[in-house]
Structure 1
Amino acid sequence: MEERTEIRLSGSGGQGLILAGIILAEAAILDGKNAVQSQSYGPEARGGASRAEVIISESSIDYPKVTKPDILLALTEEALMKYKDNLKPNGVIIIDSSIKKPELPVKIISLPIIETAQKKAGRVIVANIVALGVLTTATKIVSKVSVEKAVMDRVPKGTEELNKKALYAGFELGESF
């Protein structure tokens, strides 16, 4: 990991990316790193554009805003189009395979995140957790143990098993890349 890693999780409101950002930051802290998380979403709670940003660092974080992400996760084409050009030159983009793969000079990981949530976990609503599993295994930014603990601590009571199934499906998907 570099001294400071900037991550942008993007999609539409209702996809749970704000929660995913909170979980990712918490996992980094559990790993003994520093982390800050911020979020932004349109006035429409569901369906509007949404993003969560996380900065993870081995040292103090002097500026808490993402300026040029190292990692972009986009679950909608709109989010990809909005944020793809702001990536660092050696950045990584993780997209759902339903999105047309852009021609960009960065590493692009295209995987069936939303389909995996539906088929392996039985609910599209856990695509955010599948995406966290993919991001964890594909980038090694946080440990699997810490992200699992953060998921279990943050998801709504009564949904732990569903979310654990989604996380493990994401780990498996990320390792297949």
Structure 2
Amino acid sequence: MERCEIVLSGFGGQGIVLGGIILAEAAAIYDDINATHNQSYGPEARGGASKSEVIISKEVIHFPEIEYPDVLVALTQEAANKFAPTVKEQGVLIVDSSVKINDQIKDKVKLYSLPITEMAVKVAGSEIVTNMVTLGALVAITKVVSREALEKAMFSRIPKGTEEVNMKALAQGFALAEHLV
């Protein structure tokens, strides 16, 4: 794919912003592909709406805003309700298995419903690594960056002492999605 526009959405505390940063850095720093990252989130420290926009392109990125994403990750029902209608025709929609998508949207996208949050809790005992499970699944499905680049970017950004649990979460995300594509 020459250009891929990705929106990661959910709520504060799921690591949406950090996930977007890691994905953009995997592309730009470790896979040597152009990338941009924008973020927005509510005023709440945790629990408010959160969104990361990542554009990855082999060409120069002249306009870093996303109106109709090629890929949407929606980890909450609110995020799915708001952003799923904007996904391009035959685009990829990855949702947490707790999120419901209406049939009209299902018919126009490639839908992947995965137990992302459940897997994060299984790996870490909390939702703290939801972003890593998400990134593993996203990259397994889209191949937008290499797995090696994603791992390197993750290790450059996560807090020291959390390497093992984050690596396990990333691997679980890959395992959730690898057999689906």
Structure 1-normalised TM-score? 0.96
Q: Post-superposition shift, 1:118?
A: 1.4
**Contact 2:80–2:101 under 8 Å retained in 1:** no
**SS of residue paired to 2:60:** coil
1:117 corresponds in structure 2 to 120
1:7 corresponds in structure 2 to 6
**SS of residue paired to 1:152:** helix
Alignment root-mean-square deviation, CA: 1.0
Q: Post-superposition shift, 1:102?
A: 2.7
Distance 1:139 1:165 in 2: 20
1:4-153 alignment to 2 at 5 Å? 4-29=3-28, 30-103=30-103, 104=105, 105-153=108-156
Distance 2:4 2:84 in 1: 16
Deviating above 6 A after TM superposition, structure 1's stretches of 4 or more consecutive aligned residues are none
Give identity over the alignment, percent.
Answer: 57
Q: Count how many residue pairs are aligned between Structure 1 and Structure 2.
A: 176
Cα deviation 1:49-105 (Å, max 9, x = unaligned)? 110000000010000111210000000000000101111112110000111233211
**Contact 1:133–1:168 under 8 Å retained in 2:** yes
Q: Post-superposition shift, 1:160?
A: 1.0
**Contact 1:121–1:169 under 8 Å retained in 2:** no
**SS of residue paired to 2:121:** helix
Structure 2-normalised TM-score? 0.94
List gaps (5 residues or longer) in structure 1. Answer: none
Distance 1:40 1:23 in 2: 16
